[in-house]
Structures are given as structure tokens and as C-alpha cells.
A and B are shown apart, each in its own frame.
Chain A
Amino acid sequence: MGMGKQKLSSKQVHNSCSPKTTTTVWWYFLVSTCIKVLLFPSYHSTDFEVHRNWLALTHSLPLSQWYFDETSPWTLDYPPFFAYFECFLSFFASLVDPQMVHLQEGLNYSSNTVIYFQRVTVVLSDLSLLYGVYRLTRNMDSRKQKVIWSSVIWSPMLFIVDHVHFQYNGFLIGILLISLSYLEEGRDLLGGFVFAVLLCFKHLFAVAAPVYFVYLLRHYCWGGMIKGFSRLLIMGGAVAAVFAAAFGPFFYLGQIEQVIRRLFPFGRGLCHAYWAPNFWVFYIMSDKGLAFMLRKLGFDIKTPAASFTAGLVGDSSPFSVLPQISPIVTFIMVLLALSPCLLKAWKNPQPKMITRWIAYAYTCGFLFGWHVHEKASLHFVIPLAIVAAQTPEDARHYFLLSIVSCYSLFPLLFEAQEYPVKVLLLLLHTILMWSGFSAQFYDGAETARVLTSRTKKKIDQSGSKGSSSAGLKKGGFAIGWIDRNYLVGLVVVEVWGQFLHPLLLGDKLAFVPLMLISIYCSLGIMYSWIWQLRSVVNSV
């Protein structure tokens, strides 16, 4: 069974994690908690009311009506485990303030009590993130640990999405990290089990399911007819048990169709109101470009009825020249993009690669998926942080990717009050990563000495520029001139959108700043996808 090996490894684990490591990781978490608490009164999106409504709904209605209730427009559209989670929270909510969990009277209720209560639940649920990242890093050397902790526990993206905008991503990604840590330790059964749990919390994580399937099949269930088959049964049984626990009650009530309809609302259109920076941005743009050119050439091209910038996308095709995209097409494209990774996982399933593969899978889902939210970039940026400290190349890629994807979240916080918060979070992340990676790949004091005087000035100027590429040859951390220029461009896009555009054009072409952010960030994400694809293909 290989249980002996597993036990041994877990013993080693326990020996090596000194009490100091746990103290330090708690220190990181508590510092971030202080900032989270300070951010309590900041702006929160409609997601806040969504979750409040789910508290009320799960508290005051019987299970059989959870997926049917339409009192509020924010109907329950997460899988059952998340509903159970809300039901669990609503018990405490009813003790704190009964109005919070009242289905009708609680609508749009936003007293300080409800704000503080819900914010506190997010902060506490982040403990799963803490545990996940701790499990993944407890055997690493202490320098790597600190870089990883600071990029995961102090992730500016999580601050923006969870603690200002309001969601529970830290909690969910924490579960993903726990699953990955089991896989990396070789405890495949637990890894698969936890992933199944995660899927029943939020089904959007299913993008990585093919990779999980292939990997577990080859790494856990392969080898010998009887052993392999019995393991397949065990794994299948575990996953089935999780799904039964989640969906069983609704299956019993005969509501499974309604649940599925709620979970997969394909009527929503290819892109979100604000385009997530993915492949489809280019598709839309080339459609517009082609239509413009063809019109110039004298063809009769009709302007589509549905517009992308208006937000809501109906049934009619929003494209004037290029063919319409259906969910099936996006599904096939994601699978195609995944195939090199699946092939690798089939040929040589190794635990040390699994985090990269999963991150790659989420990148594919983000780039080619249907109705992708910009927040979904968290699903691959956080796992990539775990492997970022391995080589200078990884660090360089992660440095660029984390900045770009954090920047792409900026439109989420559109009010003036939070503007300095998001900018400072990103700058702080940039400078921490920069110093962290530099210290991590610090080879010989002399080279660094020469470089620091130059790089420091640059950092002071924009906070996001790099050093000369000379450092790369010496083995230190540095980013190349393309990356550097790209990051400078990011500053230009931001300055244009925030200051120059309103100043020069006023209210005209108000959609341009957002569109620029989408297009510019999607360039960065595309680059990251290609980089990851190459590293997946080239890995031995």
C-alpha cells in the first residue's frame, strides 16, 4: 500500500517543523489580519449583499427551498457545501443580530453589525489559507518560506477581492493548497478527497479536474490489475462519498436539475461586463478591427445589436464578422490548451510538478473559458507563488504575472476612497517581491553591491521597474528589458486611464480606460500562459 512510506514522510515532517516556523507563519498571518481589520469600513460590492442573502436564505428556509428561493435577485448559485457553510455561519449571525438572517427584513441591511460580522467571517475563514500554505512550505528552507508566505498571506489580490470587494477566495484557495500539499507529499487519496470537497464548495475550480483525474489515475491507481483496480475503487468511493454528502439531499428531493441550472447559468454571455484580461479580448478586438476594415472596403457590415461595452449580452450575436462563440467551443479550447499538460501528467506523473500543472490548468481556464471573472486569476497566481522561489526564471515570471493580475483587479475598486489602498497594496507587493527574490538569489555580495545603487533609484522612481539584465548572468534576480518596458507601460495605462483621459477627453469614450486595462493585461497573461506552456512541455 505504500502506507509505510507515507507515515515515514509525515514523521519527518513533524520533526522538521520547529515551533519557530509556526510562530513566524502566525506572525505573518496576524500582521495581515490587522490590515484586514483596519479595512473593515471600506467599500464592499454587491457580493456582500449576495452573501448576506445566502445567510438569511439558509437560515430561514428549509433545505428543499434553498435553490428555488427568489426573494432577492442574488439567488444561491454555489454548490451545496458552500450553502452548508453559510448555514453554519448563519447560526452565529442569528445570535449576533437576528435581522441579518431575516429573509425579507434583512434585504440590503447594512448596519455596522452585519458589516463587521461578515468581514470577521472572511478573516477567520482565511485560516484555511494559512494552514494550506503552511503545509506546503513547512519543509522548505526558511528564506523560501518567507518569500512564499509574504506573497500568499499578504497577497494584494486577496486583500482587494476578499477584504475590500468581499468574497471568500482565501478560504477556497486554502482548501486547494491543502489538497496540493497532500499530493506533493504523495498522499494521493487525501489530495483527491480534499479536491472533491473543494469542488463542492465552488464548482469553478473544476477546470483543473482533468489534470487531477489523469494524475491520480496514473500516480495512484496505476500498476497491476488488482492493486490498480482496487485503488481506483477506493478513490472513486471517496470522491463519490463527498459528492453524495453535498448533492445527496437535493438528489433525494429530486431537485438536482434545478441545482445544476443554478450552478451553470450559460445565459450570461461570453464575457463579463468588465472583460477579464483573457484570449477573448483579442477575439473581440479583431472582430471590431475586421468590421472596420471591411466597411472601409465597401462591404455592408451590420453593427451587432448587442454591445460588449454595455454589459448585458443577450442571445443575439455580438460579433459582426467573426463567428459566434458558444460554451462548447470554449470548452473544447480549454481542453485543447490543457492537452500538453495532460500528456505530461500521463507520461510521467510526478508530485513535484503537480502544483505547476494545476496552476497551468487554471490559466487555460482563465484564458479560454466562458464568462470568466477577472477574480479567477487568483486560482493560478496563488499556486504559482508556491513554486516561484525555485529558480530565478520562475521568480521572474511570477514577479511579472502577480503584478499584472493584481493590476487587472484595479477596476473592481472604482471609488476614490480605495484608490490609494489598491495602489499601495500593489506597490508594497512589488517591492517585497523584488527585495525577497533578490535576497533569495543573492550570489556573491560584490555583484549585488554594484547593482543596488542602480536598481534602488529605479525602484524609487516607479516602484515597479527592474535592474539591468546583467544580474541574470551572475545568477541573481533581475528582469529583462521587455518585462521592464511592459511594467512601465502598465504605469502609463494607469496614468492615462485615471488622470489624462478624464482631463483631456472628459466623459467622451468613457469605456476606453477599462478596455485598455483589459487589453494590456491580457497581453501579460497570454505571455504567462505561453511561458507556463513552455515550462510544462520542456520539463523532464
Chain B
Amino acid sequence: MDKGKKITDSETVIDDMDDNNCWWWLVQKGTAATFATIALFAFLVRVAVSLHPYSGAGNPPKFGDYEAQRHWMEITINLPIQEWYRNSTTNDLSYWGLDYPPLTAYQSFVHGIFLRFFHPNSVSLFTSRGHESYLGKLLMRWTVLSSDALIFFPAVLYFVVVYYNRSSRSRKSDLAWHTALLLLNPCLILIDHGHFQFNCISLGFTIGAVAAILSGKDLVACVLYCLSLNHKQMSAYFAPAFFSHLLGKCLRRKHPLLEVSKLGLYVLGTFAAVWWPYLYSTHSILEVLSRLAPFERGIFEDYVANFWCASSILIKWKRLLTTESLKLLSFTGTIIACLPSMVQQIKTPSNRGFLYGLLNSSFSFYLFSFQVHEKSILLPLLPASLLAMEEPSTFRWFMHFAMLSMFPLLCRDNLVVPYLALLALFTLIFYAPGQNRVRENNYFYYYLGASTTRLILSGSFILHIVYLTMHPPEKYPFLFEAVIMNVCFSQFVLVTLGSNIKQWMLNKPVKLEMEKKLI
């Protein structure tokens, strides 16, 4: 537990004695106490956010994601397991039908039982459609809070312990700072505890898998990543990185084929275990699979800051091409975008490179794949937060625009107040007094210059205000959304380019070490 303490003590004491360091007391008692304090605070923030409205509150007939999750609980506890994904008289799939893999269904089942125990009306079949009550909301909020505490928090602890054991230069207050940033990710908190979703589960499994890879336990990593994939198919954004890193590692061992097949066996085993109830016939498997890939919804919905939506201002993709060719096009685009990072990892797999690879592959999916939702920005945000120590300013920059890209969505959910509070809290934690993080080895400052960054930043603040206070011209009702989305898209492309370059730069370790020392 206290591996972080093995760092040369004289150095850490001097560092942490820094008079204005606000982490000094947290780190006196070791990693466990530090983590406990920050986790309590992060949990308090989550509880406070959960007091606010959820998506689609009091908005019949379809409500929002809250109703979707509640409906899945209703379906899973009242119908036999084979019928969960099947359209029938009792299970109308057009009304929030299950469209996530089986692990989400099992999770809904467990939570449904919890709800039924305390408040049977909120999950009764048919009659509970659109159920909204004080107790119902409270119980639903608690299902997310408990999932967060049971999966995401331990995963972050695992990652932090592994990560700060690895690099010997780390300071204890760095650990505290990084933990706080990981646990207080404003986007994740707003979507899970405000808007209402269970991203903490799939992202928690992913963090666990990353930590397992960093500590050299590849088989554990495989199992955890498969669980993540089976909770939300969006976790496939990370698949290229996991695949290429593990493949690259296997190729460097004595018996590459044996190693690969061992990993494959674990993957298959996990999948088989999760899909067991549907393995009795190919038909039932296809039934579930067809629910997971909603191609009929078009290449993008609403306004999302990716390539297809941004370029649709000039090129009307939806009108020009059929869904089939768009599918192919987006697939090719995604593969091309993540190929460089995959090649780098297969050639020279390394832990740092793996983290960059995660960021790059998830970004390629966000920017180019089919049917991306604005909430999917959480996926690239995760590896960026894992890299916060290496790329502090990039992370802050990225977080800022990730938040902005979700601003219209959160406005619709009436979550403006928590949005502003959490953004402020994030900035405060980031600039906590005593963090001597002047390492601006950040490409923004190289390529854009300080004044340009300031200009963009203040521009984005103005966008917030404009979006809140002004009405768009009648001719272009979604003008502001389009502007926000294009601004975010341009910044995301910058971050992707930068992190791809960074990942390839890792191949020149000598030069990098020199730079580090100079800094």
C-alpha cells in the first residue's frame, strides 16, 4: 500500500515542506490517507451534483437517459433473460430498448432489485413508465454513486499506486494532485451524476485494465478490458491501443504465438462468461448484436465536435452518400487515423507510449467513426487525465473544450450551475497553490503562442455567455451550436496531432531525457 513512500525521504520531505503547498498534510500519513481524503471529497462533490436535475426530468413522453436506465431496470427484473433484447408485446424496443451489451443488462438487473426492495412502484412492469418521484430519484442516484464508489474509485487507486511506484521521481504531492484530477473530472461527474449514465463502470474497468498493463499483468488487463467492452461497446475506442500494445509486447517474447493465444483465450473466456445466456443459438446472438449497432441513426446526431459533423457545414454527407458508403468511409477514416499510433506500439511497446496510444486511438474513433455522441468525449478524456502529470497544460486545454462541447447538452438538462461550479473547481484544483508545475512543454505554446491561446480561451468564455443569454437568428436556429462544435473540433484536432507526434517522439529516448533534465 505504501510503495509511494520508498522514494528517498530527504527529498520528499523538503519538497513537501514547501510553505504554500496545500497538499502537505494530506501526504503526511501515506498514500491510503491521502486517497481516502480526496475520495471523500470527490464523493461529496458527486452527491452534491446528484441533487440537481437529471436528463429529461418532467419531460414526457420520452424523457431522457434517466428514464432509459430506469426502464432497463424495469425490463430486466420483470422479463426472462432471453427476452431482454427481443421485441415483444411486453418489451417495446422502440421505447428505450436495451442497446448496450449484456453486462449493462446485468447491472440494471442488480440495481432493479435494489429499487424494487425500497420502492416497488418505480420499477413495476408497464405502470412505471415515466416514473418520477423523490424516492425514485434518490434511489436511482444511489445506484450510480455506489457503482462509482465500488468500481471507479478502486480503479483509480490501483492506477495511482502503480503509476507512482513506477516513476521514481514522483513526489507525494504529485500523487495527491493527480488523484484529485482523476476523481474530480468534471465531464464524467456531470454526465454520470447530473445527466444520468453509468460511464463510471466501463471507464473504471478501463482504468483498471490500464493499471494492470502498467504493472505487467497482461492477462488481468485483458479480462478487465473485456468487462469494460461488455458494459459499453463504446470502450472499443480503446481497442486499437490495447491490441497493438499487447501484440507488440507478445512479439518481443520467446514464444509469440503462445502468448497471443493465451491472451485470446482469456478474451474469449470473458466474453463467453458474459454472453452465456445468449449462446444457445446464433439467432439470439445476432439479436443482441443488432441492438448494439444502431446504424439506422445516421452518421451523427445533434451537434458533435467530430469530423463528419464539422465538415457537414460544407459537405452534406447525409444527402450525398448512402448509409452503406458512409459506413465504409467512416471505418476507413478511423483506421487511417489510429494506424500511426498502432504501428508505433507494435514496433516499440512501452508504458508511456501505451497511454499516448490510448489517447490517439480513442480520438480517432471520436473524430471519424460512425454515430458518435457528444458524450463520447469522455473516452479520449480518460487517457488524457491519466497523462495529466506528463501533459498538464494539454490536459487542462482539452478538458476546457471537452466541457464546452457538452455545454449545449448540459444546458438542455438544466445543469448550468453545476457545470460552472465544477469547471471552477477543476481549475482551482489544477492551479492548487504550491504545485510548481511550470513545465510548459506543451505544443500549444510552441505552435500557437501565449497570446493566441489566451484569445481562444477568452473567446470560449464569451461563447458560454452568448449561448446562455442570446437568441440565434431565426434563419439559423442552431448557429451557436455549430460555432461551439467547430471551435471544439479544431482544438481536438490540435490535441490529436500533438499527441500523435508526442507518441512517435518517444522513440527517441535520449533526446527526451536531455530535454527533461533541462526542464
Contact = CB atoms under 8 A, between A and B. Distances in A.
Contacts of A455: 29
A428 B9 CA distance: 27
A40 B434 CA distance: 30
A199 B134 CA distance: 41
A39 B48 contact: yes
B468 interface: no
B433 A20 contact: yes
Interface in B23-62: 24-26, 28-30, 32-33, 36-37, 40-41, 43-45, 47-49, 51-52
A432 B44 contact: no
Nearest to B53: A41
Interface string B436-461: 00000000000000000000000000
Range, interface on chain B: 35 or more
A417 B28 contact: no
A460 B37 CA distance: 10
A30 B421 CA distance: 10
Contacts of B28: 435, 438-439, 442, 448
A460 B32 contact: yes
Interface in A16-40: 20, 23-24, 27-28, 30-31, 33-35, 37-40
B47 A438 contact: no
B428 A421 contact: no
A132 interface: no
Contacts of B429: 31
Contacts of A428: 37, 40-41, 44
Interface stretch (A141-149, A394-402, A518-526): A141-149
B122 to A, nearest CB: 14
Given A20-B433, A27-B432, A143-B24, A456 B29 contact: yes
B417 interface: yes
B135 interface: yes
A256 interface: no
Given A40-B417, A142-B19, A452 B48 contact: no
B22 interface: yes
Interface string B296-332: 0000000000000000000000000000000000000
Majority DSSP secondary structure for residues of A touching B: helix
A37 B417 contact: yes
Contacts of A147: 25
A448 B30 CA distance: 10
Contacts of B22: 24, 27-28, 146
Contacts of B497: none
A493 interface: no
Range, interface on chain A: 35 or more
A34 to B, nearest CB: 4
B258 interface: no
A474 to B, nearest CB: 15
Interface string B1-14: 01000000100010
A361 B43 CA distance: 37
Contacts of A192: none
A24 B433 contact: yes
Majority DSSP secondary structure for residues of B touching A: helix
B346 interface: no
B293 interface: no
Contacts of A33: 424
Given A39-B48, A431-B36, A435-B29, A34 B24 contact: no
Contacts of B424: 30, 33-34
B418 interface: yes
A427 B39 CA distance: 11
Given A34-B424, A38-B418, A456-B33, A424 B40 contact: yes
A34 B37 contact: no
B425 interface: yes
A425 interface: yes
A30 B428 contact: yes
Contacts, number: 117
Contacts of A34: 421-422, 424-425, 428
A225 interface: no
A123 to B, nearest CB: 11
A438 B20 CA distance: 18
A448 B434 CA distance: 24
Contacts of B25: 143, 146-147, 432, 435-436, 438-440
Contacts of B13: 445
Contacts of A142: 19-20
A459 B37 CA distance: 10
Given A31-B428, A416-B138, A428-B41, A39 B51 contact: yes
Contact of A23 (B49, B420, B421, B433): B433
A323 interface: no
Contact of A38 (B24, B48, B145): B48
A42 interface: yes
Nearest to A41: B51
- Give the residue among B19, B49, B145, B434 with the most A Cβ atoms within 10 A: B19
A267 interface: no
A424 B45 CA distance: 10
Given A424-B43, A435-B28, A455-B29, A38 B51 contact: yes
Contact of A435 (B37, B43, B51): B37
A240 to B, nearest CB: 44
Contacts of B138: 416-417
Nearest to B47: A420
A245 B162 CA distance: 65
A428 B39 CA distance: 9
A139 B28 CA distance: 24
A41 B193 CA distance: 14
A421 B44 contact: yes
Contacts of B428: 27, 30-31, 34
Contact of B33 (A23, A41, A435): A435
Contacts of B19: 20, 142
Interface string A282-308: 000000000000000000000000000
Interface in A424-464: 424-425, 427-428, 431-432, 435-436, 438-440, 442, 445, 448, 452-453, 455-456, 459-460
A120 to B, nearest CB: 11
Contacts of A448: 28
Given A34-B425, A420-B47, A424-B44, 8 more contacts: A27-B428, A30-B428, A34-B428, A35-B48, A38-B48, A417-B134, A445-B13, A456-B30
25 contacts: A20-B20, A23-B20, A24-B434, A34-B424, A35-B45, A37-B418, A41-B51, A41-B52, A142-B19, A420-B47, A421-B44, A421-B48, A428-B41, A428-B44, A432-B25, A435-B28, A435-B29, A436-B25, A439-B25, A448-B28, A452-B29, A452-B30, A452-B33, A453-B2, A460-B36
Leading 9 A-B pairs by shortest Cβ distance: A38-B48, A439-B28, A34-B425, A439-B25, A424-B44, A37-B421, A142-B19, A436-B25, A435-B25
Interface of A: 20, 23-24, 27-28, 30-31, 33-35, 37-42, 116, 142-143, 146-147, 416-417, 420-421, 424-425, 427-428, 431-432, 435-436, 438-440, 442, 445, 448, 452-453, 455-456, 459-460
